[in-house]
Each structure stands twice: as C-alpha cells, then as structure tokens.
Structure 1
Amino acid sequence: MSCVHYRFQSRLTYDSLQFEGLNISAGELKRQIMRSKRLKFCQLKISNAQTDEEYTDDALIPKNTSVIIRRIPAAGLKSSNRRFVGHQAGRWREPSPRADPSLLSLEQLLKTENLAEAKASEEDKLKAVMYQSSLCYYSSR
C-alpha cells in the first residue's frame, strides 16, 4: 500500500491517506480527504510541502509525498453565518421606537453614573458605556 501524508495549513500534525498504485491524482486525493474529514461546500488546494508547488486536479502526486491542504470557500454559495445577514458592518442601527416611555433617553443615559441600575434598553446602555469610556481621551467634551 502506498500513502500520501497531508496536513491542513492550520494544523501541525500530518495524517496519512493510503491508496493503491505508485501515485494518486490530486482530484482523487481531494475527494478522499473530503470524505474522510466529512467536509462539505468547500474547495481544497493542494500544494507540495517541500517545494510549495500547487497541484491541479489532474496532476499526479507520487507516493510518500507530503502535501499541505488549504480550504477555500466554495464559489457561488451563500454564507451560512446568519448573524451578519442584513447588518452593515461598522454602522449603528437606528434606535428602535421606545415601547416604554419610562425608559431614560440616550442623552440622559450619557450623563448617568451608574449605568448598571439605570432604567434603559441594553442597546442604549452599551452606547453610553462606549461614549463614557472614550471621554478621558477627549478633553474638549
């Protein structure tokens, strides 16, 4: 039995994949790695660990070669990370209309010393904390 030693770029240890013959195609190696590691919806790039030569799918990899695998997101698929869907990075969302008129406004909250016990929404409390934490850097405020 022949084998190829492979490791993912983020890992330190090598795993081995056994096959019949003197060499294995890079495409077949990718399929076997994806099956053994149960990977879905990604592409793999294979390069030689010693020479950094990148293999195409039809390239033959000789037995006893060490390769490095890089995972690349599959093109054309939507992100499965639903936390950031519909949110623009780096921008505050507009404050939602207040359901309870007894809550403190953001302006009143900015001047409050004890934010933990203040009656306000959690979002407004966080904005006030961020504002108050930067006051020491701006002497004009």
Structure 2
Amino acid sequence: MIQSSKWLWEQERCMHTIFFFSPNPFSYVKKPLATPPPSYICFRCGKPGHYIKNCPTNGDSNFQSVRRLKKSTGIPRSFMVEVEDPNTKGAMLTPTGRYAIPIINAEAYARGKKEKHPFLPEEPSSSSLSSAPDYPIPEELLCFICKEIMADAVIIPCCGNSFCDECIRTTLLDSEEHTCPACHQEDVSPDTLVANKFLRQGLAWKRP
C-alpha cells in the first residue's frame, strides 16, 4: 500500500513538472524584424529597406519581379565594379546589398567584346564599326593620376586604391612627404606597392 501511494505521488509530481516546464513551441517562432539589415535585398523589387511581404509593389499586378542574382561570395571587393542597374549583364549581389560585376567582365563590356556564335552571319567590316558609339569605360579601371586605363596596375596599402605603377611611384617620389594622392596619408614608401595581378590580367589588352 505504501509503495502504491509512493508510485502515485511520483506520477503526479512528474505530471506537474511536465505541465510547468514543458517548452512552448510557439515561443520559439522567430518573428521578422520591422526593419531588415542593410544587406537584405527584397527578392521582389530588388531594393533594400523592407522584407518581401512589406514590398510596396505587392499590390501592383503589372509589376514584374526582378530576376534572382548570383551572390559575389568569394570574389574580393577590389575585383568588382559597382553598377546601379541589377539588369546589367553579369551583375551580382554583393554582401553590402549593392550590385557589381567582375572587373574582367567590365572591361570586356566596355570594348563591346562579344563571342561570335558559329551560326551567326559575318561580323560587319571595320569601316561600319567605326561609326558605332563608344562604350564608356568604368572609372574603376582608370588611373586616379593620369585618368587613363591603368598600366601595370599596383595597389597602395594605405587606402587600397589602384594606380599605374609608374604614375604612383613618380607621384610618391616627387612628394616631399611621400603623400598618397588618394587618401593623403604621408610616409608611404614606393616599396610597399603591391602588384594588382587581377587588374593586370584583365587590362593586358590595353598595351601593345
């Protein structure tokens, strides 16, 4: 009788424990924040500042959703060129929520370089191409000093900007304080310049 009473008491205690301490599954459901992080991009309109369920275009039946973009994961920021239009050919989504394309692609687009399809007609002659409009070259491919496409591109360690090797070395040596022309930091030695191999490879077509 005593053992039976003890067993009943243990069962009742266990039931109370389960009732009071059993986790409520609804308490662990994460609620979306009112304001998303700066890097979040709405999958419907392609703009930051709101979640897709709060997108201003939700009630617009004529709105066409932007295409999903590949993320630039693994590509260094210095190897990318920012663009404004998400529909730019080769555009990717960066961790900061901006759009960018690889520098090598940018210089190819700037030249209007296209891969010929075997079934397409012959390319027009050079005389007809001479009247075609020039494509603008992205500023990121131009030297900060000479304003031309960089030759033997190097990176300066103080601010991470790239210049022509000759331009930046001459500028640093001509400056009494060895001042960087971009961020104006002093005592920058030309020996600390690092070759920008990615840019050199991408812009090799520029020099004969």
TM-score normalized by structure 2? 0.15
TM-score normalized by structure 1? 0.19
Higher RCO, 1 or 2 (CA under 8 Å, sep at least 6)? 1
Larger proportion of strand: 1
Q: Which structure would you say has the larger Rg?
A: 2
Larger proportion of helix: 2
